[in-house]
Chain A
Amino acid sequence: MIDVALSLVTSVAILMIAYVMAISSKDLIRLLISLELMFGAVFLALLPLFSIETLLDESFGIAVVTIFTSSSELLILIGTIVKLDRMKEDITTSSIIAGGEGL
């Protein structure tokens, strides 16, 4: 028997650390790292799903889709960072103004 609260509490702690990191990030690399930590917290939150025997296959499917889609999202962000560096030679979050300046 394992206390499921342990994985959920750890997940919440890592998620909040990642939020603080994302809020206070000054460059896109730090933002990328915080996003990866957030996905790590999501993986931990999936753990209790594997305790339901009838949902074991579905849990595996959800975990597979989560891992691959989050990886794809991060790869796109990495591509964007490389592209931004080539265009502006700057990867600070303050250099990104498009999409937000009209709000």
Chain B
Amino acid sequence: MPIEVYAIFLLSAFAVISAVGSLITTDNFYAALYMALTLVTIAGIYALMNLQEIFILITFIFVGAIGIVTVSLAAVYKFRPSRQLSKLWLIPSALTVVILGYVLYTKVTYIALVGRINLSGLGLEYFLLISALVSLIVLLMLSILSISRGGISD
């Protein structure tokens, strides 16, 4: 097996472990940090698959903007003493993972990724769509800033 396959195995394992860390920690701040780590690892899998455009979008938009806002919000409400994990739900969840994992692993075939996205070949509609979506995110960010600074009356 080539080294990339081992790297994807390692990143996948790391993503699941950091997600478990996010689940079992009682501190919201660390849970948010583990969540950011999981998302960066998922973006890393895209980068290893030679899909750098998606890696940049996930890292900049999802981790960079939303992840950091979540981490800062979690830092404000940092201390939560009570245990938050419901152990009763762990059993059916673990069973679902095992069953679905087994079915997917036995039924899904191997694939070969087909290389890079040709950005120059994409039409004007894509860039129009991305511009509209970036504007939407900026507007939402401004609204949240306005709410957090008390710009809108309760």
Contact = CB atoms under 8 A, between A and B. Distances in A.
Main secondary structure of the interface of B (DSSP, over half): helix
B109 A50 contact: no
Nearest to A86: B154
Main secondary structure of the interface of A (DSSP, over half): helix
Given A2-B113, A20-B89, A13 B101 contact: yes
Contacts of B122: 57, 60
Given A5-B104, A83-B147, A37 B89 contact: no
Interface residue range, chain A: 35 or more
A50 B51 contact: yes
Interface of A: 1-10, 12-14, 16-21, 23-27, 29-30, 32-33, 36-37, 39-40, 43-44, 47-48, 50-53, 56-57, 60-61, 63-65, 67-72, 74-76, 78-79, 81-83, 86-87, 91
25 contacts: A2-B112, A3-B5, A10-B12, A10-B15, A13-B101, A14-B15, A17-B22, A20-B23, A20-B85, A20-B89, A24-B85, A26-B84, A32-B73, A33-B31, A33-B35, A40-B38, A47-B49, A50-B113, A52-B114, A56-B117, A57-B122, A60-B53, A64-B126, A71-B137, A76-B140
